[in-house]
Structure 1
Amino acid sequence: MTIIVFLALLGPHSATAVNHSLKCLATGSSQVLNFPEYVGAEMVDDVHIYHYDSNTTRVVPKQDWMNRITEDYPKYWESETEMLKFHQQFFKARIETLKLSFNHTGGVHILQVMHGCEWNDETGEIIGYERHGYDGEEFISLDLKTEKWITRKQQAVITKQKWDNNKVEITKIKKYLTQECPDYLKKFVNYGRSSLMRTDLPSVSLLQKTPSSPVRCFATGFYPDRAEIFWRKDGEEIHENMERGEILPNHDGSFQMNVDLNVLSVTPEDWRRYECVFQLSDVKDNIITKLDKTAIQTNWCKTGFPLGAVIGPAVVLLLLVVCIVGYFLWKKNKGKDGFQSANMQLQTLQDHPLKFQFLTCQEKRELE
């Protein structure tokens, strides 16, 4: 009989991050019930550092170490609040302009803007970006090399011409993205170094809804999000009869991910040949979980009794969380350029307000 096997760490390992990022995220919405008209947030290395919305109209730090910002910038929170209040009004007016450009008279509409910078602490390379999306598709973005705005939308041509002629604003944006943003990023990384540079291993479980369902290898509680999870057979990674989910954030700042294996074609005697492998960046050892029927947590059993009566409410709650996440992934439907349609964006925003469907800088470079 196989058992779940964990390759324990031989000793503490320090995760040395090379690439750091500061993302400023903003979402404006029109005619969305029970959701703020404007939401602003900042992320350092994908960790949520502050939040603002039009309902509260104040900036709230999300990490204790971010309170150190007042050591260098005593009026930081006041100035951020005033800036975001201005952005809130700008977004409201901008959505109305976009609705006219697209001949939209009503309905749900969403405007997203993401700008920020990436910094390599070994090479010193800095990459800045600013991108705007409307109703799930990229509307316009800034090319810092040419100092021109780029668009594939006919409705954005007038905007592009107007913004291209505003050289003062382009210079201001470029200065922020290539100088001020990296300066802030370096300070933020220094404030949160002990948290941002930490390494947390996940708990890994095998889950299955019904005897005919795929077996899910579910890892949760890991940090950072530079991780891989996959199934392998006889020591070789497999790419068939499996489906890998994306990395999703937990409320405590850690992450979760999963990979499913279709076991309908796997004979009982071959189960022992399969194992789930979780790899965390900069950690030497992997977590290996053998495919073992006795280790699978499920909401069914041979006697027909509900799982809660057998293994208690804790696992039932875990399975409920997994089902919710699975439903969210099933609902997701990306549109062009990595954006989502307006309806899918609304579902995403309500479930995960900080989840933006923008291409990363690396993905953008690959397209170029």
Structure 2
Amino acid sequence: MKTRMFLHLFAFLSCSPLVINAVFHTLEFIITASSQIPNFPEYLSVAYVDGVPITHYDSMSGKFSPKQDWVNKITTQDPHYWRRDKGICIGYQQVTKNDFETVNELFNQSGGVHTFQVMSGCSWDDETGEIDGWRHYAYDGENFISLDLKQWRWLAFKPQALVTKHKWEEQFVIQFYKDYYTQTCPEYLKAHVSNGKDFLTRTVLPRLSLLQKRSWSPVTCHATGFYPRDAILFWKKDGQKVSKGVEREDTLPNHDGTFQVAAHLRAADLSARYECVFQLAGVPDDIVVPLDHRVLLSNERIQAEERRKMALAVAVPLAVLVVAVVIVAAIVYKWRKGEGRLLFQSLATNFIPDK
């Protein structure tokens, strides 16, 4: 439960405010340290540009690898990028492990399932030149400490974080982060945006589906395969946007660099004129899907369709068998009447193709 809460928290934190603005770019790193989670690495680091995963490192494989082909272009500006950043990942793995152990001690916890996560990144508006940054820490699904980049001070969200706050507010630590978030991070963000321009500025329209598990379940409008991430999905009733009874999920990445999102509609009367509306940055026209029970995919409908196919699968061979029995019966009957040869000639003429 704690793990799910923790990952949900950072799914929320990693989704920047929805702004339909093609000139706003982000570079962010999500780092997760964990203990006693089966089949999950003790250390995982993933970097994202505009919400698209670009690099991946984990302690199980020990590999630091690109997730997009165009990321390799960074070596033209920085030939030692891969070797250096892998070394940084390995070094930071030990740093994070130490921080994790320290926080465990602060909370008087020595065993069990625990998670420690860091979300760090910067943003750049290529129209105004404005840059910003963030650095958040969380422990077991709750905020622990964050860096305020406006006043350059640490904000402790738990009493246990006060020790860390006082330690990290030493001048050399603050100066290190100032240099990183005002220079290093924006420079790498600009380089990645330039290298991945064709990929990051493309527009891909989504596939929209209406889903329902049971007749009494909420109706889900699911949009997937779209790009960029900046999108809005909502429900309308009789032309008016509906807020009550609607739950919108976070926008999540797909493995191919596109995104998906869902909005659930719970309404007592689904006979009203509902429609799902999808808006994508850079696309002037809305994509609208009316709520039509004829196209609504549900478990009940799928099961009914499977039963129909199964009945058809049984009926067709049975019909063929009946026809075969009739033909055999006719052959036996004709043969007994001495007309077998004529019957075989007739069958050969009708069923054996000409050579």
Q: TM-score, normalised by structure 2?
A: 0.77
Match of 2:109 in 1: 104
Counterpart among 152, 158, 161 of residue 147 in structure 1: 152
Q: 44, 48, 53: which is aligned to 1:48?
A: 53
Question: Post-superposition shift, 1:263?
Answer: 4.8
DSSP-derived class of the 1:176 partner: helix
Structure 2 stretches lacking a partner, 5+ long: 1-19, 311-355
What is residue 230 of structure 1 aligned with on the other side?
Answer: 234
Percent pairwise identity: 47
C-alpha contact (below 8 Å) 1:298/1:307 kept by paired residues: no
Q: Is the 8 A contact 1:207 1:217 kept in 2?
A: yes
Q: Deviations over 1:256-293 (max 9, x none)?
A: 112223354234xx3xx222111112211111111111
Q: Distance in 1 between matches of 2:308 and 2:54?
A: 37
Aligned with 2:300: secondary structure? Answer: coil
| 1:169-228 deviation line (CA, Å, top 9, x unaligned) | 221111011111111100100000111111110111122222222222221111111111
Q: State the AA in 1 paired with 2:285.
A: D
Compared CA separation, residues 182 and 215, structure 1 to 2 (3 A): same
Amino acid across the alignment from 1:59: F
**Structure 1 residue corresponding to 2:123, chosen from 107, 118, 122:** 118
For 2:87, the equivalent position in structure 1 comes to 82
Contact map agreement 1:142 1:149 (CA 8 A) in 2: yes
Runs of 4+ in structure 1 off by over 3 angstroms are 301-310
Write the distance in 2 (CA, Å) between the matches of 1:16 and 1:231. 22
Contact 1:16–1:197 (8 Å) recurs in 2: no
Does structure 1 conserve the Cα–Cα contact (< 8 Å) formed by 2:51 and 2:253? no
Q: 1:304 offset after TM fit, Å?
A: 4.2
Which residue does 2:165 correspond to in 1?
160
Q: C-alpha separation between the residues in 2 aligned to 1:82 and 1:248?
A: 29
Residue in structure 1 matching 2:34, options 29, 32, 35: 29
C-alpha distance in 1 between matches for 2:303 and 2:43:
51
| Kept in 2: contact 1:229–1:258 (CA 8 A) | yes
Residue 217 of structure 1 pairs with residue 216 of structure 2: no
Q: Aligned residue for 2:319?
A: none
| 8 Å Cα contact 1:279/1:285 also seen in 2 | yes
Determine which structure has greater relative contact order: mean sequence separation of CA pairs < 8 Å that are 6+ residues apart, divided by chain length.
Answer: 1
Give the one of 185, 207, 212 matched to 1:208: 212
Aligned position for 2:327: none
Q: For 2:209, what is the secondary structure of its paired residue? A: strand
Per the TM alignment, residue 308 of structure 1 is displaced from its structure 2 partner at its CA by: 8.8
| Aligned partner of residue 95 in structure 2, secondary structure | helix
Q: How many residues align?
A: 291
Match of 2:306 in 1: 306
For the pair 1:127 / 2:132, whether they are aligned, the reply is: yes
Equivalent residue letter for 1:28: A
How many angstroms does 1:105 deviate by?
A: 2.1
Q: Any idea what SS the aligned residue of 1:294 has?
A: coil
Q: Which amino acid aligns with 2:140?
A: D
**In 2 relative to 1, CA 292–83 (structure 1 residues): closer, same or farther, beyond 3 Å?**
same
Aligned-partner residue type, residue 245 of structure 1: E
SS of structure 2 residue aligned to 1:292: coil
| Distance across 1 between alignment mates of 2:307 and 2:137 | 47
Per-residue Cα deviation, 1:39-97 (whole angstroms, up to 9, x for no partner): 11211001100000111222100000001011011110000111111111112222111
Summarize the Cα distance change of 1:290–1:115 in structure 2 as closer, same or farther, 3 Å threshold: same
State the TM-score, normalized to the length of structure 1: 0.75
Distance 1:266 1:54, change over 3 A: closer
Structure with higher Rg: it is 2
The equivalences for 1:321-336 within 5 A come to none
